[in-house]
Amino acid sequence: MSLLPPRDATTALIAVDLQVDFLPGGALAVPDGDHVVPLANRLGDTFETVVLTQDWHPPGHISFASSHPGKAPLELIDLPYGPQALWPDHCVRGTPGAELAPGLAIPKAQLVIRKGHHHHVDSYSTFTEADRTTPTGLTGYLRARGISNVVLMGLALDFCVAWSAVDAVAEGFTTYVIEDACRAIDTHGSLDKARADMSAAGVQVLSIASFMG
Ligand code: VGL
Ligand code: ZN
């Protein structure tokens, strides 16, 4: 049985990338991505501190296949910071696809972290960009508010949720992922890898039923 996080002001919810482009019909649709939006609303109600994240790329971002002639979405390329999967153009800052999901209703949420805004660096993680050195500033925000535990949910489990969870552990937070409040892209073994990476890092995986008790 997994331990549950303390249900007090030391625990924050991070709702990851609940955005139009990751919902059915979006540019990088995650299968059944829309199913987790009502779960985010229910969970959000039970936390004092809620952080929303938004994938937020400039036009022509380095993670877009269209920025690399001859390359197709889901191919891998080598960048100075390591391998980078290529994606369809998605979550271009200021466009309708980058907006938060219609139906997302967490009025308590006070911070939105926008990530992936550097032209030459992607950022699946909401803590540290893909160069593994540039911080988003989220750690400082959470620490300043006395947060020591984080609970993650959202899209996509095998990219932005998993990378954020592994980094949350590295930043010293006790870290939980509510797996059935996430959906995955699952390409080239990414879901199995994400599960293995989270388990190796010590991320605790919960179900929404166990969490809601
Ligand atoms: C994501 C691929 C590219 C995610 C973001 O939110 O998981 N995946 N950009
Ligand atoms: Zn992205």
Please indicate whether residue 87, judged by its CB atom, sits closer than 6 Å to ligand 1.
yes
Are 150 and 142 in contact by the 8 Å Cβ rule? The answer is yes
For ligand 2, the distance from its centroid to the CA atom of residue 22, given in whole angstroms, is 10
Q: 3 vs 25, which has greater pLDDT? A: 25
User: Which pLDDT score, from 0 to 100, does residue 116 have?
Assistant: 98
Atom 8, ligand 1: which residue's CA is nearest?
159
d(CA 131, CA 79): 10
- Is the predicted ipTM greater than 0.85, yes or no? yes
Q: What is the CATH number of the domain that holds 186?
A: 3.40.50.850
Contact 169, 177 (CB under 8 A): no
Confidence band (pLDDT; 50, 70, 90) for 2? low
Say how many domains are in the chain: 1
Contact 191, 166 (CB under 8 A): no
The answer to whether residue 6 sits within a structural domain is: no
The residue segments making up the domain with residue 106 are 11-59+91-212
Rounded mean pLDDT, 29-48: 98
pTM over 0.90: yes
- pLDDT tens-digit series, residues 130-158: 999 999 999 999 999 999 999 999 999 99
Asked if residue 72 is part of any domain, the answer here is no
What is the model's pLDDT at position 200? 98
Give the pLDDT score at 69. Answer: 97
* Closest atom of ligand 1 to CA, residue 63: 3
- Answer yes or no: are the C-beta atoms of 162 and 25 closer than 8 Å: no
Q: Which of 124, 164, 193 to mutate to test the pocket of ligand 1 (most atoms within 8 A of CB)?
A: 124
Residue 155 in contact with residue 177, Cβ under 8 Å? no
Average pLDDT for the chain: 97
* Inside any domain, residue 105: yes
Q: What is the pLDDT of residues 24-34, one digit of tens each?
A: 999 999 999 99
Show which residues are catalytic.
17, 115, 160
pLDDT above 70: percentage of residues in the chain = 99
Q: Does the pLDDT of residue 112 top 90, yes or no?
A: yes
Q: Ligand 2 centroid to 61 CA: how many Å?
A: 9
d(CA 63, ligand 1 centre) in Å? 10
3 domain-assigned = no
Grouping H, G, I as helix, E, B as strand and the rest as coil, residue 93 is coil
Determine if ligand 1 sits within 6 Å of the CB of residue 159: yes
Is the beta carbon of 160 within 6 A of some atom in ligand 1?
yes
Q: What is the pLDDT of residue 213?
A: 83
User: 66 in a domain, yes or no?
Assistant: no
Q: Check if the beta carbon of residue 43 is closer than 8 Å to that of residue 51.
A: no
